[in-house]
Amino acid sequence: MAQTVNGSPRRDPDFAFERVFWRIGLRAVAGVDEVGRGALAGPLVAAAVVFPARRGNAIARLASDLDGVRDSKLLTPIRRVALLETIHAAAVAVGVGMTDSVELDAIGLAAANRIAMERAVLALPDEPDALLLDACTIDLGMPQVGPIDADAHCLSVAAASIVAKVTRDALMVAADAIEPRYGFAGHKGYGSAFHLAMLGEHGPCPLHRRSFAPVARYIVQ
């Protein structure tokens, strides 16, 4: 069902981009997306999702099975978790990759983002024929396209955004049990007022990205 943003209709994600690859014989098309770029703590997490190539009415049936799948930022946490089962049931392959805060600090955000996505693709059981990414490309040899806002338009990329987000949220909830002072379960490592207050009170822990300015100011030399 189409949604409305600021009074204007917005098309639900579909398989239009995937179909371009399917039509030329590239059947295993992996949608790839990452989450956590703006967080002050925790890993970058990426996911790659491959749905079965379909033709004709079968494409519409597959899209119907994935009703509700869209950019993870538009979904509530409960809805994302519920859709995760839907995605796994419909996909032929799912891979997850990540870069932790230490590696990110060492190589920089852009490189960490690319590497997390590459690791997600390499975690798939078989190498895909082509990649769909959100406004970028990565250093792997298969054909790839990075349309702007792919997570809003491409079902496989939207699905990858959900897998990555649910995975990362679970990791941050687990981190909260180990390092409870910062409230990671609530803000998932992003710069909430509470998180910043706790950084000011306690300084950074090993999960924090020390190369990020809001964290760096609390590092004692």
Question: CA-CA distance, 108 to 44, in Å (whole number)?
Answer: 12
Looking up residue 129, the CATH number of its domain turns out to be 3.30.420.10
Q: What is the pLDDT of residue 10?
A: 58
Instruction: Please report whether residue 210 resides in a domain.
Output: no
Residues 63-113 have pLDDT tens digits of: 999 999 999 999 999 999 999 999 999 999 999 999 999 999 999 999 999
221 — pLDDT class (breaks 50, 70, 90): low
> What DSSP state is assigned to residue 15?
S
Beta strands at 130-133 and 29-35: parallel, antiparallel or unpaired: parallel
Query: Is the residue at 212 inside a domain?
Result: no
Angle, nearest 10°, between helix axes 155-178 and 77-90?
120
Task: Tell me the three state secondary structure of residue 49.
Answer: strand
Domain assignment present for 188 = no
The pLDDT of residue 5 is 39
| Mean pLDDT, residues 191-219 | 97
Q: Is the pLDDT of residue 145 over 50?
A: yes
Local confidence band at 201 (pLDDT 50, 70, 90 cut-offs): very high
Predicted pLDDT at 194: 98
Would residue 220 count as lying in a domain?
Answer: no
pLDDT above 90: residue 215: yes
Whether 211 is covered by a domain: the verdict is: no
Q: What is the pLDDT of residue 11?
A: 76
* Residue 209 placed within a domain: no
| Residue 144: φ, ψ to 5° | -155, 150
The terminus-to-terminus CA distance of the chain in angstroms comes to 54
Quick check: is 203 in a domain? Answer: no
**8 Å CB contact between 97 and 118:** yes
Can you give the pLDDT at residue 220?
Answer: 77
Statement: residue 1 has pLDDT above 50? no
Q: Give percent of the chain with pLDDT exceeding 90.
A: 93
Q: What is the pLDDT of residues 6-56, one digit of tens each?
A: 444 557 999 999 999 999 999 999 999 999 999 999 999 999 999 999 999
173-180, Cβ contacts within 8 angstroms, sequence gap of 24 or more: 175/41, 175/42, 175/207, 179/205, 179/207
Q: Does residue 165 form part of some domain?
A: yes
Count of domains for the chain = 1
Residue 104 belongs to what domain range?
3-179
Residue 172's closest CA among 158, 160, 182?
A: 182
Q: Give the alpha-carbon dihedral of 127, 133, 137, 139, to 10 degrees.
A: -30
